[in-house]
Structure 1
Amino acid sequence: MKLKYTTTVWLVLIIVISSLFSCKKYLDETVYSNIAASNFWANKEDALSGLYSNYALSTEFGAHNRMFFVMTDMLSDDMDDEYSNTEAERRQLQNYNFSPFNSYINNSWVALYKSIAQSNVIINKVPNISSMTANDKNIIIGEAKFLRALEYLYLVQLWGDIPLDTISVGSIEETKMLKSPAATIYNFIVRDLKFAEDNCSDAPLELGRASKWAAKSLLAKVYLTMAGPFSNRNTEYLTLSEAKLKEVVNSKRFSLVPKIIDYFDINKKGSSEMIYDEWQIGDASGDIGSFMHRNALPSSISDPAITQLKTAGYKAWSPTPDLWSNFKPQDDRLKMYFSYYIKKNSNGTFGIQKYNVPYIAKYVDSTTVARDAKANNLPVLRYADVLLMYAEVLNELGTTNSEDGNKNQYDYLNMVRQRAFSTSPSTGKYNNMSFTKIQFRDIVMLERRLELAHEGQRLFDMKRTGTFISGMTALANNTKALLAGSPVPTYSIAYPAGVYPNPTGKTPYPAGTVVFTADFLKNTKTVPPADFQFVMPIPGNQIQVFDIGQNKGYN
Structure 2
Amino acid sequence: MKKYRYHISLFTLLLVLGACNRQLDLKPEGTMVESELLKYEQTTQNYLADTYLRMMDACASDNYQIGDLTGGIAGTNDPNLAKGTIDPRDENYTALWSKPYLTINQANVIINQLPKYAQFDKSKQAPLIAEALFIRAYCYMVLLRLYGDGALQGKKDNMGVPLRIASFDGYNGSQDIPRATNGAVYTQILKDLDAAIADLPAVRPDALSQGSRATKGAANALAARVCLYSQQYEKAATYAQAALTGNNYSLQPNFWTMWPDHYASLGSYPLSKEVLFAFPESFNKTSKSNDNNGIYYAYGYYKTLPGFLASYGDHDERKDSINLSYQPVMRKFTDMNMRDNVVMIRLPEVMLTLAEALAQTKGVNSTSIDLLNQVYARAYTVSPVPHVYVAADFATPAALIDRILQERRWELAFEGFARFDAIRYGKAPNPELPATRYAFPIPQHEIDITQGLIKQNPGY
For residues 97-135 of structure 1, give each alpha carbon's deviation from its aligned partner in whole angstroms, at most 9, with x where no partner exists: 221123342111111111111101111121124422222
SS of the counterpart of 1:318?
Answer: coil
Once the two structures are superposed, residues 242-273 of structure 1 have per-residue CA deviations (whole angstroms, 9 ceiling, x without a partner) of 11222223422211001223223465522111
Which SS does the other structure have where 2:236 is aligned?
Answer: helix
SS at 1:360 equivalent: coil
Taking the aligned partners of 1:13 and 1:443, their CA distance within structure 2 comes to 52
Are 1:218 and 2:222 matched, yes or no?
yes
Which of the residues 395, 402, 427 maps onto 1:442?
402
For 2:321, which of 336, 341, 363 is the aligned residue?
A: 336
The gaps in structure 1 that reach 5 residues or longer are 17-34, 85-89, 228-236, 298-312, 343-357, 402-406, 477-527
Determine if contact 2:59/2:142 at 8 Å carries over to the other structure. Answer: no
Q: Deviations over 1:328-371 (max 9, x none)?
A: 121011112332437xxxxxxxxxxxxxxx322311126xxxx3
Identify the match of residue 383 of structure 1 among 312, 327, 347. 347
Is the counterpart of residue 455 in structure 1 residue 415 in structure 2? yes
Q: Distance in 1 between matches of 2:290 and 2:245?
A: 40
Kindly provide the CA deviation profile for residues 509-536 of structure 1, in whole angstroms up to 9, marking residues without a partner as x: xxxxxxxxxxxxxxxxxxx222221211
Q: Which residue identity is paired with 1:458?
A: A
* Partner secondary structure for residue 180 of structure 1: strand
- The separation in 1 between residues aligned to 2:374 and 2:80, in whole angstroms, is 39
TM alignment of 1:52-451, pairs within 5 A: 52-63=49-60, 65-69=61-65, 71-81=66-76, 84=77, 90-160=78-148, 161-173=160-172, 174-204=174-204, 206-207=209-210, 208-227=212-231, 237-265=232-260, 268-280=269-281, 281-283=283-285, 284-292=287-295, 295-297=296-298, 313=299, 315-341=300-326, 358-365=328-335, 371=337, 374-398=338-362, 407-435=366-394, 436-451=396-411
From the superposition, tell whether residues 428 and 204 of structure 1 become closer, same or farther in structure 2 (CA, over 3 Å): farther
Q: Answer yes or no: is the 8 Å Cα contact 1:410–1:431 preserved in 2.
A: yes
Structure 2 distance, partners of 1:177, 1:185, is 13
1:529 corresponds in structure 2 to 433
Amino acid at match of 1:417: Y
Q: Name the structure 2 match of 1:39.
A: 36
Rounded to whole Å, the distance in 1 between the matches of 2:181 and 2:274 is 35
Whether the aligned pair in 2 keeps the contact of 1:263 and 1:269 (CA below 8 Å) is no
* Residue type of the alignment partner of 1:119: A
Deviation at 1:399, TM superposition (A): 6.9
Report 1:458-537 matches (<5 A): 458-467=418-427, 469=428, 471-472=429-430, 476=431, 528-537=432-441
Which residue number corresponds to residue 353 of structure 1?
none
TM-fit CA distance, 1:15: 5.8
Measured in 1, the distance between the counterparts of 2:361 and 2:10 equals 39
* Deviation readout 1:3-31 (Å, 9 max, x if unpaired): 9514999x999766xxxxxxxxxxxxxxx
Q: Report the aligned-residue RMSD.
A: 2.6
Cα distance, 1:433 vs structure 2: 3.4
Instruction: Give the corresponding residue for 1:492.
Output: none
CA distance in 2, matches of 1:221, 1:428: 28
User: What TM-score, normalized by structure 1, do the two folds share?
Assistant: 0.70
Relative to structure 1, is the Cα distance of residues 337 and 143 closer, same or farther in structure 2, using a 3 angstrom cutoff? farther
Counterpart-to-counterpart distance in 2, 1:202 and 1:3: 25
Provide the secondary structure at the position in 2 that maps to 1:551. coil
CA distance in 1, matches of 2:115, 2:147: 32
Q: Which residue in the other structure is 1:545 paired with?
A: 449
CA distance in 2, matches of 1:126, 1:80: 45
Query: In the alignment, is the contact (CA less than 8 A) between 2:35 and 2:117 conserved in 1?
Result: no
* 8 Å CA contact retained: 2:197, 2:219: yes
Contact in 1 for aligned 2:15/2:49 (Cα 8 Å):
no
CA distance in 2, matches of 1:246, 1:51: 28
Amino acid at match of 2:182: A
Structure 1 residues 7 and 196: alpha-carbon distance in aligned structure 2, compared to 1, 3 A threshold: closer
| Distance of 1:109 and 1:12 partners within structure 2 | 32
Query: 2:419 is paired with a residue of what secondary structure?
Result: helix
Distance 1:541 1:57, change over 3 A: same
* Alpha-carbon distance, 1:211 to partner: 0.4
Matched residues in 2 for 1:13 and 1:113: separation? 25
Contact 2:252/2:274 (8 A) holds in 1: yes
Contact 2:275 2:347 in 1 (8 A): yes
Conserved 8 A contact 2:364-2:400: no
- Equivalence for 1:508: none
Q: Structure 2 length as normaliser, TM-score?
A: 0.84
Q: Name the CA shift for 1:339/1:138 in 2 (closer, same or farther; >3 Å).
A: same
Deviation of 1:191 after TM superposition, in Å, equals 0.3
Residues 219 and 141 (structure 1 numbering): CA distance in 2 closer, same or farther, change over 3 Å?
A: same
| AA at the equivalent of 1:167 | A
Q: Percent identity?
A: 24
Structure with more contact order per residue of length (Cα contacts < 8 Å, sep ≥ 6)? 2
Change (3 A) 1:4 1:415: same
Seen in structure 2, the aligned counterparts of structure 1 residues 137 and 4 have a Cα distance that, compared at 3 Å, is farther
Shift of residue 396, structure 1, vs aligned partner: 1.6
Tell me: CA distance 1:41–1:132, structure 2 relative to 1, closer, same or farther (3 Å).
Answer: same
- Matched residue SS, 1:172: coil
* Residue pair 2:197, 2:216 contacting (<8 A) in 1 also: yes
2: distance between equivalents of 1:3 and 1:243?
38
Moved more, 447-456 or 205-214: 205-214
Q: How many residues matched?
A: 416
Once the two structures are superposed, what CA deviation does each residue of 1:485-525 show, in whole Å capped at 9, x if it has no partner? Answer: xxxxxxxxxxxxxxxxxxxxxxxxxxxxxxxxxxxxxxxxx
Residues in 2 aligned to 1:61 and 1:282: alpha-carbon distance in whole angstroms: 17
Q: Distance in 2 between matches of 1:104 and 1:75?
A: 16
State the AA in 1 paired with 2:188: F
In 1, Cα distance between equivalents of 2:27 and 2:112:
17
